Amino acid sequence: SNDGTDQGGVTVDNAGVVAASAYFDGTNHISLQANNASLPLYSQTGRHMASAWVKTPSRAEWEVIYAEGVSSGSCRSYFEFSLYYDELAHIWRDETNDNSAVSLSTVSVGDNQWHHIVGIHSGDLDSFYVDGGFATVQTNSGDRGTINALTRFAIGALDRTGCFNTVQNIIGYIDEVRL
């Protein structure tokens, strides 16, 4: 169990699916200590799974559910599990070399209702499940790297200020994140 360290005033309330959940207002995030050896690392060739309960309104932009990565100077390489125009997305980005690989689901979850979402990366396949049912699978042979040493891990936001001067924050509830 890795309980996060609240940063930016995340609201924790009893509106969750399982006891309390975290509410993100678009400016806050939770981060976990990057040096915790029990956190799983994204691997290009290995299997990687993320799941969470989310409740978000419809939005027309990137919203990060969870992200992990490593800093290299002012740029970063990272993996993220996000919402993109209300659909689930697996994303690998290498901002130093300007490489990325993106897979999108075909099921919208931006309806302000609770949804259990799962994303699985295995080799060149990204699979998505919503509320216990299969949503879609995408073949993605884009250039994906491997994170060998985790220096950043966040739930609810991704700070991309090193290269692109943006922060991608979610608005809504996140509960029971599992990796």
pLDDT tens digits for range 21-55? 888 888 766 666 555 556 655 555 567 788 899 99
φ, ψ of residue 160 in degrees (nearest 5): -110, 30
Band (81; pLDDT cuts 50, 70, 90) = confident
The two structure tokens encoding residue 167: 């922060």
Q: What is the mean pLDDT of the chain?
A: 75
Which pLDDT score is estimated for 43? 56
The answer to whether the CB of 88 falls within 8 A of the CB of 105 is yes
Query: What is the C-alpha separation between 68 and 151, in angstroms, rounded?
Result: 8
Which pLDDT score is estimated for 54? 92
Amino acid at 173: Y
Handedness of CA 111, 116, 122, 127 (dihedral sign): negative
Band (95; pLDDT cuts 50, 70, 90) = low
Q: What is the DSSP string of 141-164?
A: -S-----SS--EEEESEEEETTTT
Which pLDDT score is estimated for 88? 84
The answer to whether the CB of 84 falls within 8 A of the CB of 106 is no
- Tokens 């290269």, located at residue: 163
Calculate mean pLDDT across residues 155-165: 65
